[in-house]
């Protein structure tokens, strides 16, 4: 029958920076400064003076780049499947999928039987939220941070619609900059406020690294807090794998999702969904429900050491079996995970080397942009917020008020926050051949830049000059003429 295995090739160790570009398919005229996903669908602030209801901008997604050899690996698998579709999908694909799950499990230090692969982070989050078992007494509350990824925030709202009278959401407002102690204290206060109001804080949701703004949260301490308080923890780790160290055995969250296509150099879309065996009884359905579903009446519900006691003919537990085949889709990227991890080790020197370079570059690059613009980077005194491969820089734009040194005035009018965002990002893409998220946060405009192995400080200096030009043009009202 053959095998999807190919002889292992040795990769060339390459210095970080411009030389690394030879391994990627990025257009020579394009500067890739946005590795993470961007979602800007927040409502206008209550103090907006405009007298309008919530104005929502459509989500914008952008994702990591993939080494050319890894893309070719996916193409080879796709071609092999086209040559023998039924045999590949039925026999070869599951074998390759198991190896990918095991590779992710080693990277995250988790048992392979707790890891499955799904199309993206939103699919993983939706799978958890739509399967979660709420108590029927109507006292359950979701405790979530205010900078939650916008689509996940919408999902928690939808859960309330889907389970009327059973669950509601309580938001923990995080106004930055904050030290880690303050974030933990605020989340703990949110849990206590839920109890004081007569509710049951049931599920706590927070990020490893948030999307907008792109900052590291003290997710380890928040997970421990949830455990101490008897609250189940759901970590949105969309930016975790390939970005920072995550030890799930030590962390022991109740649910965890992370995208492999953002920072791990895996073709889109691919995400890891972690559910420890103690909760796998709850995750009853994939999205969509498919062949792997086993009706409750057919499951042996006896518990042995917190695990479902049934054994399937293929030797896998019901959780893994359920996600093995979820309708036909282009999921060849799933099978590229082991090759991507090996590429990172041989070409880049491994996870620690990548993380060290990118975090340092993000910090230095952010300072360069801020110096050019005459503004500042979003960070705290301990720099725990900036221990990530992304940086957030304040733009020299002022909403209303008097002109101050180095600032450009943006006259208040309905929806102006998003008008500026849309205009600046369109100009970046069309005129400058790049893209960085611009977003309105805490009453001001910010930009987020991502560091990656193929970037250097000079790229951030170039970005600073570009932003200086765009902000000056906004100050002249050009954004109103488009």
Same domain, residue pair 314 and 459: no
> Each residue of 424-443: pLDDT tens digit?
999 999 999 999 999 999 99
What CA–CA distance (Å, rounded) separates 73 from 342? 13
pLDDT of residue 77: 94
Q: What are the two backbone dihedrals, phi and then psi, of residue 283, each rounded to the nearest 5 degrees?
A: -85, 85
pLDDT of residue 309: 41
Instruction: Please compute Rg for the chain using Cα positions.
Output: 23
220 within domain boundaries: yes
305 within domain boundaries: yes
Taken as a whole, the chain contains a residue count of: 482
Same domain, residue pair 24 and 49: yes
- State mean pLDDT over 143-172: 91
Greatest C-alpha distance within the chain:
74
pLDDT of residue 43: 37
Same domain, residue pair 323 and 400: no
- Is the pLDDT confidence value at 45 over 60? no
- Is the pLDDT confidence value at 182 over 90? yes
344 within domain boundaries: no
> Each residue of 82-97: pLDDT tens digit?
999 999 999 999 999 9
Task: From residue 455, give the alpha-carbon distance in Å to each of 21, 214, 268, 386, 463.
Answer: 8, 18, 21, 18, 12
Q: With bands split at pLDDT 50, 70 and 90, how would you rate the model's confidence at 61?
A: very low
- Is the pLDDT confidence value at 349 over 50? yes
Last residue of a domain, which of 339, 368, 402?
A: 339
Contact 81/89 with Cβ under 8 angstroms? Answer: yes
Helices (H) and strands (E) in the chain, counts: 14, 14
Task: From residue 314, give the alpha-carbon distance in Å to each of 113, 189, 285, 407.
Answer: 13, 47, 19, 65
pLDDT of residue 407: 87
pLDDT of residue 158: 87
Task: 438-444: list long-range contacts, CB under 8 Å, 24+ apart.
Answer: 438/395, 439/38, 439/40, 439/42, 439/212, 439/213, 440/40, 440/42, 441/212, 441/213, 442/175, 442/176, 443/45, 443/399, 444/394, 444/395, 444/397, 444/398, 444/399
pLDDT of residue 162: 87
Same domain, residue pair 40 and 145: no
Share of the chain above pLDDT 70, in %: 86
Last residue of a domain, which of 278, 312, 339?
A: 339
Same domain, residue pair 99 and 245: yes
Q: Take residue 111 and report the two structure tokens written for it.
A: 């048992």
> Each residue of 448-480: pLDDT tens digit?
999 999 999 999 999 999 999 999 999 999 999
Task: From residue 100, give the alpha-carbon distance in Å to each of 105, 187, 204, 312, 320.
Answer: 8, 35, 29, 21, 13
- Is the pLDDT confidence value at 53 over 60? no
pLDDT of residue 44: 36
Q: 399-415 in b/e burial notation, b at 16+ Cβ within 10 A?
A: beeeeeeebbbbeeeee
Same domain, residue pair 100 and 176: yes
Task: Provide the angle, in degrees to the nearest 10, between the axes of the packed helices 121-131 and 150-162.
Answer: 20
Q: Please give the torsion angle defined by the CA atoms of residues 45, 262, 281 and 170, in that order, rounded to the nearest 10 degrees.
A: -10
Nearest to 73 by CA among 355, 341, 257: 341
Same domain, residue pair 276 and 155: yes
The alpha carbon of residue 142 and the mean position of all alpha carbons in its chain are separated, in whole angstroms, by 20
Task: State the chain's mean pLDDT as an integer.
Answer: 88
Please classify residue 34 by burial: count the beta carbons closer than 10 Å to its beta carbon, then call 0-12 exposed, 13-18 middle and 19+ buried: buried
The alpha carbon of residue 202 and the mean position of all alpha carbons in its chain are separated, in whole angstroms, by 23
Q: Provide CB contacts within 8 A for 146, sequence distance 6+.
A: 171, 172, 173, 174
> Each residue of 277-327: pLDDT tens digit?
999 999 999 886 666 777 766 665 444 444 444 456 567 888 888 887 776
345 within domain boundaries: no
pLDDT of residue 80: 94
Same domain, residue pair 307 and 355: no
Q: Render 41-69 in DSSP notation, one character per residue.
A: -PPPPTT-SS------PPPB------BHH
Same domain, residue pair 283 and 231: yes
CB atoms within 10 A of CB 269: 22
215 within domain boundaries: yes
pLDDT of residue 294: 75
Measure CA of the first residue to CA of the last residue in the chain; give whole Å.
Answer: 59
84 within domain boundaries: no
Number of domains in the chain: 2
Same domain, residue pair 330 and 359: no
Contact 364/358 with Cβ under 8 angstroms? Answer: no
Same domain, residue pair 43 and 142: no
312 within domain boundaries: yes
- Is the pLDDT confidence value at 261 over 50? yes
> Each residue of 96-118: pLDDT tens digit?
999 999 999 999 999 999 999 99
Q: With bands split at pLDDT 50, 70 and 90, how would you rate the model's confidence at 63?
A: low
- Could you tell me the CATH number of the domain that includes residue 143? 3.40.640.10
Q: With bands split at pLDDT 50, 70 and 90, how would you rate the model's confidence at 64?
A: confident
- Could you tell me the CATH number of the domain that includes residue 48? 3.90.1150.10
- State mean pLDDT over 209-234: 97
Last residue of a domain, which of 281, 307, 339?
A: 339
74 within domain boundaries: no
Query: What sign does the CA torsion over 418, 420, 422, 428 have?
Result: negative
Range of the domain at 467: 18-62+350-480
Same domain, residue pair 392 and 244: no
């Amino acid at each position: 029958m053959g095998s999807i295995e190919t002889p292992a090739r040795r990769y060339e160790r390459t210095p970080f920076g411009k030389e690394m570009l030879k391994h990627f398919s990025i257009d020579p005229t394009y500067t890739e400064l946005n590795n993470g996903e961007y979602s800007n669908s927040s409502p206008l602030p209550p103090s907006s003076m405009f007298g309008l209801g919530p104005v929502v901008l459509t989500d914008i997604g952008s994702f990591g780049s993939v080494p050319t050899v890894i893309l070719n690996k996916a193409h080879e698998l796709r071609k092999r499947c086209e040559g023998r579709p039924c045999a590949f999908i039925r026999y070869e694909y599951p074998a390759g999928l198991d190896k990918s799950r095991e590779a992710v499990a080693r990277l995250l230090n988790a048992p392979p039987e707790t890891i499955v692969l799904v199309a993206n982070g939103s699919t993983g989050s939706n799978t958890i939220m739509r399967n979660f078992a709420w108590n029927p007494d109507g006292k359950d509350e979701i405790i979530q941070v205010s900078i939650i990824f916008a689509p996940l925030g919408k999902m928690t709202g939808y859960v309330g619609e889907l389970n009327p009278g059973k669950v509601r959401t309580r938001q923990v407002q995080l106004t930055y900059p904050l030290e880690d102690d303050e974030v933990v204290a605020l989340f703990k206060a949110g849990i206590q406020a839920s109890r004081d109001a007569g509710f049951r804080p049931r599920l706590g949701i927070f990020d490893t690294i948030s999307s907008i703004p792109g900052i590291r949260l003290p997710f380890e301490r928040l997970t421990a807090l949830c455990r101490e308080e008897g609250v189940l923890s759901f970590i949105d780790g969309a930016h975790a794998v390939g970005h920072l160290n995550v030890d799930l055995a030590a962390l022991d969250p109740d649910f965890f999702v992370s995208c492999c296509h953002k920072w791990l150099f895996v073709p889109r879309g691919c995400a890891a969904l972690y559910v420890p065996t103690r909760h796998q009884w709850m995750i009853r359905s994939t999205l969509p429900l498919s062949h792997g579903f086993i009706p409750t009446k057919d499951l042996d519900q006896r518990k042995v050491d917190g695990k479902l006691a049934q054994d399937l003919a293929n030797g896998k537990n019901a959780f893994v079996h359920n996600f093995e085949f979820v309708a036909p889709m282009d999921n060849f990227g799933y099978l590229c995970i082991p090759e991507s991890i090996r590429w990172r080790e041989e070409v880049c020197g491994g996870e620690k080397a990548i993380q060290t370079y990118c975090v340092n570059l993000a910090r230095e690059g952010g300072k360069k942009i801020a110096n050019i613009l005459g503004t500042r980077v979003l960070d705290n005194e301990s720099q725990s917020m900036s221990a990530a491969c992304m940086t957030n820089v304040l733009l020299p734009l002022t909403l209303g008020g008097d002109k101050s040194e180095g600032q450009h005035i943006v006259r208040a009018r309905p929806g102006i926050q998003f008008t500026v965002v849309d205009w600046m990002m369109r100009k970046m893409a069309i005129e400058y051949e790049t893209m960085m998220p611009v977003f309105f946060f805490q009453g001001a405009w910010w930009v987020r830049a991502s560091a990656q192995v193929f970037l250097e400080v000079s790229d951030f200096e170039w970005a600073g000059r570009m932003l200086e030009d765009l902000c000056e043009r906004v100050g002249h009202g050009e954004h109103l003429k488009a």
